[in-house]
Amino acid sequence: MNKTISETQAFLDAFLPAVSSVTDVDVIIAPPFTSLAAASEKMKNSAAKLAAQDVFFEEKGAFTGEVSAAMLIDAGCEAVIIGHSERRHILKESDEVINKKVRAARAHGLEVLFCIGELLAERESGKTMDVLKTQVMAGLSGVAQDGIIVAYEPVWAIGTGKTATPEQAQEAHAFVRELLAGLFGDAAQTLRILYGGSVTPENIGALMSQPDLDGALVGGASLKPDSFAQLVRFKK
């Protein structure tokens, strides 16, 4: 929940030229609902994709405050984040609701950034893999692999300045890829799994050196054009 319409426009005016020469990285930007249409206009001549931060699973009707997949597409979106930890834990979204959202988004052709991750208490009690298995199997039930990007974000590392060690991140990513192989077969090897959780220009190198980390879901470091551009321009 950051940036007004004018702040979003100013951000894009600074950020897009800074990454215009980058051709080997897929960039997705997810501003608030209120800024989507203005961002879409700014991004018309950019290779970056516009995403929303959430979507509702119904087409239309008496669902005050909700936004449908068709509305997102109308505002210029090509993708949507679903199941972010803040939606799961602050707004109490269940795996069932998240699955409905994934299905609705994919039915309209929106690319889905599907978020999973464990709480600190779950990691400390040895339940990380159980949590990830439940979230993956329930959240992606009945979904094809096309248009799915998975983002692993340990909840204890989001906005805290704490980051999973590269080894911890790799262990979780490798486990998730095994789960995806059970769902999607060989396609799981090419399905992208992103790491989210206090990713910065300073730690991106160590994280991206791990074989199963295919990119980053960037939080705080994406709020400033210069730090986000540094991450986009990172080379292995």
| 41 is annotated as an active-site residue | no
Residue 84 near residue 116, CB atoms below 8 Å: no
| 173 is annotated as an active-site residue | no
Catalytic residue among 93, 111, 153, 173: 153
Residue 152 near residue 194, CB atoms below 8 Å: yes
* Phi, then psi, of 53 in degrees rounded to 5: -90, -10
Question: Cβ atoms within 10 A of the Cβ of 136, count?
Answer: 22
**C-alpha neighbours within 13 Å on the C-beta side of residue 5:** 8
Q: Give the separation between CA 88 and CA 93, rounded to whole angstroms.
A: 5
Catalytic residue among 84, 111, 118, 173: 84
Question: Which residues are part of the catalytic machinery?
Answer: 84, 153
